[in-house]
Amino acid sequence: MPSLYVHIPFCVRKCEYCDFYSEAAGERDIDRYLVALECEFTLRYPDGIAPETVFLGGGTPTRLSAEQLRTLGEIFKRRVDLSRCIEFTCEINPGTLTPEKADALVALGVDRASFGVQSFNPDFLKSLGRIYEVGTPPQAVAMARAAGITRVSMDLMFALPGQNLTQLRDDLHQALSFGTEHLSLYALTYEDDTPLTRDLQSGKVQPCPEELERAMFSTVGDFCAKSGLQRYEVSNFARPGAECRHNLVYWRVGEWAGLGAGAHSMLDHEIIENAADHKAYADALEAGKLPFVRREKLTVGRQVETLLLMALRLDEGVEVARLDALIGEKFTARAADALETLTRQGLIECGAHLRCTDRGLMVLDSVILEIACVLDRTTALPA
């Protein structure tokens, strides 16, 4: 069975940088959404689903009340068999957790908490639209652990406007002070049509200089390595055995079922996308219809591109034999020119696995583009 992702698209407020589908909503909308979510489970998996990993994301799942989280737990009891589940993660914004919600998450099956901290600096939280999170991580981590959630991950951002290396190191020190076993470190990106991007375009904020961003990328890697957290994906670091098993399914291009408004699935080389509007999502399911707005069966060419795009993010890279099987010939012969150039530049290593070096990870998009372009210029891949 595939892994399971469930999207809860509700937030206290929309963050200034966020382009994921999420929005503020009232309690009636949330209650209606939960009913619709069970309808989607019933229509898509009438006999239930038994995933090995589960990820409850958003939005902010802990925007739901404790009672609503318990309702979600009842839906899971009826529709999801967790007997084979080896990891159940829930995203948590620290300022939204209470002891009652933590207990409800444990009853739901959650054993891993992914805290969206972003920064411990009040000024940066204010600029990101998360001022309500100031000072809340210590209490939130304590609540989660008291309830029985033993595995803790934290998300941080760097290359924030005005941020320096000292402030970044301070965030890293504070994150690890909680006994955190996993860190996700993302450089701030300016997504289209977000308040932060509009501030950038109007000159209200200045982006982090590229040279400083590169120095921050290196600082993150060095700091985590010295602290016992190894980079296993370009933006993710873990103590041995603490990698996010669910996200590895994405990066290795496995199979997962995505339920909820705006969720995506990857099943049998087909991308399925749900309506990114909780009202349209609920309308469809109340009418007995699936909320799909896109179904795309990936061609072999798209499968190769997707595998390169995702797996080259990993320290382990991608098995060359898997690429050979996809394209029906030797990948190393097909992409010889690009592989030779990138190896000479110190950006990749190619043996049984094709993987990026640390230098290559800093220019990952360019590496992938170079390989993909060579494949496109040669004979067409099989349909």
- Looking at residues 167-193, what average pLDDT do you find? 93
Lowest mean pLDDT among 11-15, 135-139, 377-381: 377-381
The average confidence (pLDDT) of the chain is: 93
Parse the chain into domains and list their residue ranges.
3-251, 300-377
**21 against 162, higher pLDDT:** 162
**Whole-number pLDDT of residue 221:** 96
Q: For the range 333-337, what are the long-range contacts, defined as Cβ-Cβ under 8 Å and sequence gap of 24 or more?
A: 334/374, 334/375, 334/378, 335/371, 335/374, 335/375, 337/374
* pTM of the predicted protein model: 0.93
Burial class (CB in 10 A: 0-12, 13-18, 19+), 203: exposed
pLDDT of 259 higher than 80 = yes
DSSP calls for 227-247: TT-EEEETTEEESTT-S-HHH
pLDDT, residue 382, reads 57
Compute the distance between CA of residue 48 and CA of residue 345 in angstroms, rounded to an integer.
Answer: 50
- Look at residue 14 in the predicted model and tell me its pLDDT: 62
Specify whether the CB–CB gap between 261 and 249 falls below 8 A.
no
CB 235 within 8 A of CB 242: no
Assigned token pair, 308: 């390169």
224 Cα distance to chain centroid: 19
pLDDT at site 307: 95
DSSP-derived letter for residue 274 is E
Q: How far apart, in whole angstroms, are the C-alpha atoms of residue 282 and residue 261?
A: 8
pLDDT of residue 1: 73
3-state secondary structure of 56: strand
To which residue do tokens 């989607």 refer? 40
Tell me how far CA of residue 202 lies from CA of 195, 199, 213, in angstroms: 11, 5, 22
For residue 9, give the nearest of 28, 17, 29, 1 by alpha carbon: 29
> Per CATH, is 300-377 categorized as 1.10.10.920?
yes
Give the total residue count for the chain.
383
CA distance 15 to 91: 15
d(CA 240, CA 255): 24
pLDDT at 353 over 70: yes
Tens digit of each residue's pLDDT (9 = 90 or more) over 40-54: 999 999 999 999 999
3-251: in CATH 3.40.190.10? no
Give CA–CA dist 197/195, Å, rounded: 5
More confident residue, 238 or 197: 238
